[in-house]
Amino acid sequence: MLNINDLAPDFTLQGSDLKEHSLQEFRGKKVVLYFYPKDNTSGCSKEAVMFNELKEQFEKENAVIIGVSKDSLASHKKFIDNYSLSFLLLSDPEQEVIKAYDVLREKSMYGRKYLGVLRSTFVISEEGKILLADYGCKATESPKTVCRLLLK
């Protein structure tokens, strides 16, 4: 589990803009890095729309929003198109970054246990340190929590 003041694990993943992105390239900006279970599902869609609506406020605070899931780039494109999202989504099909941020957890649905992504949000400082590690956050609360933190 990552904690406040830990150095955020670096990564390189394919983005919805069809380019590779690493955490290093965002040094000098705050990064709102949020992990979500699946594109185009109810909770994930609500969360993404809320982040999208707050994007300008985040940008005023020198912050970028990046969403991460194990979905494919094609799935991300549909998700972006369906909700007019204007921030970067990264695809982690091998779940390497998901594991590095310790958000791959055992879940249960209808009595069936499986490994899935625990909805979690991290705010990373301009220097790459964790300012917020919100594991198991609520889809409709996470964007507001991050906004309050950034607007302090």
Render pLDDT for 48-90 as a digit per residue (tens, 0 to 9): 999 999 999 999 999 999 999 999 999 999 999 999 999 999 9
Phi, then psi, of 3 in degrees rounded to 5:
-125, 165
C-alpha separations of 148 from 130, 141, 152 in Å: 16, 11, 6
Q: Are strands 63-69 and 88-91 parallel, antiparallel or unpaired?
A: parallel
Residue 69: the pLDDT is 98
User: Which entry of 2, 31, 44, 65 is annotated as an active-site residue?
Assistant: 44
Q: In sequence order, what are the residues at sequence separation of 6 or more whose Cβ sits closer than 8 angstroms to the Cβ of residue 108?
A: 114
Q: Active-site residue 137, yes or no?
A: no
Average pLDDT, the chain: 94
**In the 3-class helix/strand/coil scheme, how is the chain assigned residue by residue?**
CCCCCCECCCCEEEECCCCEEEHHHHCCCEEEEEECCCCCCHHHHHHHHHHHHHHHHHHHCCEEEEEEECCCHHHHHHHHHHHCCCCEEEECCCCHHHHHCCCEEEEEECCEEEEEECCEEEEECCCCEEEEEEECCCCCCHHHHHHHHHCC
Task: Read off the pLDDT band of 128 (50, 70, 90).
Answer: very high
Residue 114: the pLDDT is 76
Mean pLDDT of 112-133: 94
Q: Which two tokens stand for residue 59?
A: 């940008």
- Determine the longest span between alpha carbons in the chain, in angstroms: 45
Q: Are strands 20-22 and 12-15 parallel, antiparallel or unpaired?
A: antiparallel
Whether the pLDDT of residue 151 is over 80: the answer is no
Task: Read off the pLDDT band of 138 (50, 70, 90).
Answer: very high
